[in-house]
Structure 1
Amino acid sequence: MTQSHQTVEHNHKNCSHSHDHSKGQSHDHNHGNLPVVLFFAGLATFIISLFLPTGTPKTILALATIVLSGYHIMIEGFEDTINETKRLKKFTPNVHVLMSLAAIGAAIIGDYTEGALLILIFAAAHFLEHYVENKSKKEITSLMKMNPTDAKLILSDGSTKTVDVADLKIGDHLKVLNGEQIPTDGTILSGYTSIDESSINGESIPAEKTVGDTVFGSTINGDGTITMAVTKDSSDTVFAKILQLVNESQSNLSKTATKIKRLEPKYVTSVMVLVFLYIVLMPLIFNMTWYDSFYKGMVFLTVASPCALAASDIPATLSAISNLAKRGVLFKGGSYLSNLSEIQAIAFDKTGTLTEGKPKVTDVHFIGEITNEETFYTDLIVAMEKQANHPLANAIVKSIEIVNDIPLTIENQIGKGLVSTYKGHTYKIGKASQFTNVSSDIESFERKYAEEGKTVVLFSEDDVVIGLIAMMDLPNPKAQQLVAYFKENNIHTTMITGDAERTGRAVASTLKIDEVAGNVLPENKSQIVSSLQDKYGLTAMVGDGVNDAPALVKADIGVAMGDGTDVAIDVADVVLMQNDLDKLGYAYRLSKKLDKVVKQNIIFSMGVVALLVILNIFGQMNLPIGILAHEGSTLVVLFNGLRLLSPLKN
Structure 2
Amino acid sequence: MDAQVKALSNSTEQAIWLKKILPHAELIAALFSGVLILTGWLFDHNEIHTAAIVSYVAAFIIGGFSKAKEGIEATIEEKELNVEMLMIFAAVGSAIIGYWTEGAILIFIFAVSGALETYTMNKSQKEISALMEIQPEEALRVIDGSEERVHISELALDDIILVKPGERIPADGMITKGRTSIDEAAITGESIPVSKEVDGEVFAGTVNITGSIYIKVTKKSTESLFQKIIQLVQSAQSEKPPSQQFIEKFEGTYVKVVLAVVFLMMFVPHYALGWSWNETFYRAMVLLVVASPCALVSSIMPATLSAISNGARHGILFKGGVHLENLSHLKAIAFDKTGTLTRGKPEVTDVIVREDLDQTELLTVAASIESQSNHPLAQAVVRYAQKQQIAFSSPDHLEDVAGWGVKGQVNGKEWKIGKADFVGREEAFAFASGQAKELAATGKTTVFMADEHGVAAVIALKDLIREETKLALDLLRQEGIYTIMLTGDNEKTAKAIAEEAHLDSFIAECLPEHKVEHLKKLIEKHGTVAMVGDGINDAPALATANIGIAMGEGSDVALETADIVLMKNDLPKIAEAIRLSKKMKRIVKQNVIFSISVITLLIISNFFQVLDLPYGVIGHEGSTILVILNGLRLLK
- Using the size of structure 2 for normalisation, the TM-score is 0.74
- What is the deviation of 1:356? 2.4
> 1:70 corresponds to which residue?
64
Alignment pair present for 1:254 and 2:248: no
Pick one of 538, 546, 550 that aligns with 1:556.
546
> 1:272 corresponds to which residue?
259
Pick one of 553, 569, 572 that aligns with 1:579.
569
Pick one of 359, 365, 369 that aligns with 1:374.
359
- Secondary structure of 1:477's aligned partner: coil
CA contact (8 A) 2:532 2:542 kept: yes
Cα distance in 1, alignment partners of residues 418 and 138 from structure 2: 41
Q: Map residues 595-634 of structure 1 onto 2, 5 A cutoff.
A: 595-634=585-624
> 1:81 corresponds to which residue?
75
Q: Map residues 450-599 of structure 1 onto 2, 5 A cutoff.
A: 454=444, 466-467=456-457, 469-563=459-553, 566-599=556-589
> 1:109 corresponds to which residue?
97
> 1:53 corresponds to which residue?
42
- Secondary structure of 1:503's aligned partner: helix
Pick one of 63, 85, 88 that aligns with 1:97.
85
> 1:305 corresponds to which residue?
292
Same amino acid, percent of matched pairs: 40
Alignment pair present for 1:290 and 2:284: no
AA at the equivalent of 1:470: A
- What is the deviation of 1:270? 1.2
Cα distance in 1, alignment partners of residues 135 and 441 from structure 2: 39
- What is the deviation of 1:279? 2.1
AA at the equivalent of 2:78: E
Alignment pair present for 1:432 and 2:428: no
Cα distance in 2, alignment partners of residues 395 and 602 from structure 1: 56
Q: Map residues 300-379 of structure 1 onto 2, 5 A cutoff.
A: 300-370=287-357, 373-375=358-360
Cα distance in 2, alignment partners of residues 557 and 344 from structure 1: 11
> 2:108 corresponds to which residue?
120
Q: Structure 1 residues 461-470 or 471-480, which shifts more?
A: 461-470
Superposed CA deviations along residues 149-177 of structure 1, whole A, max 9, x for unmatched, are 9999997x7999999998787xx557899
Cα distance in 1, alignment partners of residues 265 and 284 from structure 2: 6
- What is the deviation of 1:626? 0.5
- Using the size of structure 1 for normalisation, the TM-score is 0.72
- What is the deviation of 1:41? 3.5
Cα distance in 1, alignment partners of residues 443 and 73 from structure 2: 65
Pick one of 39, 42, 49 that aligns with 2:30.
42
- What is the deviation of 1:561? 1.5
Distance 1:505 1:389, change over 3 A: closer
Distance 1:164 1:407, change over 3 A: farther
Distance 1:149 1:427, change over 3 A: farther
CA contact (8 A) 1:74 1:100 kept: yes
State the structure with more CA Rg.
Answer: 2
- What is the deviation of 1:487? 2.6
Q: Structure 1 residues 437-446 or 623-632, which shifts more?
A: 437-446
CA contact (8 A) 2:554 2:567 kept: no
Cα distance in 2, alignment partners of residues 121 and 41 from structure 1: 12
AA at the equivalent of 2:103: G
CA contact (8 A) 1:324 1:330 kept: yes
Q: Structure 1 residues 272-281 or 582-591, which shifts more?
A: 272-281
Superposed CA deviations along residues 135-157 of structure 1, whole A, max 9, x for unmatched, are 444425656899999999997x7
Cα distance in 1, alignment partners of residues 390 and 580 from structure 2: 53
- What is the deviation of 1:429? 10
CA contact (8 A) 2:95 2:103 kept: yes
Cα distance in 2, alignment partners of residues 132 and 419 from structure 1: 69
- Secondary structure of 2:118's aligned partner: helix
CA contact (8 A) 1:492 1:514 kept: yes
Q: Map residues 86-235 of structure 1 onto 2, 5 A cutoff.
A: 92-140=80-128
> 1:188 corresponds to which residue?
none
Cα distance in 1, alignment partners of residues 474 and 274 from structure 2: 70
- What is the deviation of 1:83? 0.8
Cα distance in 2, alignment partners of residues 286 and 45 from structure 1: 37
CA contact (8 A) 1:495 1:516 kept: yes
CA contact (8 A) 1:378 1:402 kept: no
Superposed CA deviations along residues 225-277 of structure 1, whole A, max 9, x for unmatched, are xx9998x9887886665444224312332332121111000101111222223
CA contact (8 A) 1:430 1:457 kept: no
Superposed CA deviations along residues 329-378 of structure 1, whole A, max 9, x for unmatched, are 111222221221212211111111111234333112222212xx335666
RMSD, aligned α-carbons:
4.9
AA at the equivalent of 1:37: A
Q: Structure 1 residues 271-280 or 585-594, which shifts more?
A: 271-280
AA at the equivalent of 1:66: F
- Secondary structure of 1:591's aligned partner: helix
Q: Structure 1 residues 585-594 or 275-284, which shifts more?
A: 275-284
Distance 1:450 1:124, change over 3 A: farther
Cα distance in 1, alignment partners of residues 337 and 23 from structure 2: 52
Superposed CA deviations along residues 403-441 of structure 1, whole A, max 9, x for unmatched, are 8x66665579999699999xx947999962799878945
AA at the equivalent of 2:42: P
Distance 1:133 1:625, change over 3 A: closer
AA at the equivalent of 2:64: G
> 1:9 corresponds to which residue?
none
- Secondary structure of 1:630's aligned partner: helix
Q: Structure 1 residues 515-524 or 411-420, which shifts more?
A: 411-420
CA contact (8 A) 2:535 2:552 kept: no
Distance 1:602 1:40, change over 3 A: same
- Secondary structure of 2:553's aligned partner: coil
CA contact (8 A) 2:531 2:547 kept: yes
CA contact (8 A) 1:38 1:71 kept: no
- Secondary structure of 2:292's aligned partner: coil
CA contact (8 A) 1:137 1:246 kept: no
- Secondary structure of 1:473's aligned partner: strand
Superposed CA deviations along residues 111-147 of structure 1, whole A, max 9, x for unmatched, are 3443333333333433444344434444256568999
- Secondary structure of 2:484's aligned partner: strand
- Secondary structure of 1:546's aligned partner: coil
- Secondary structure of 2:299's aligned partner: coil
Distance 1:474 1:58, change over 3 A: farther
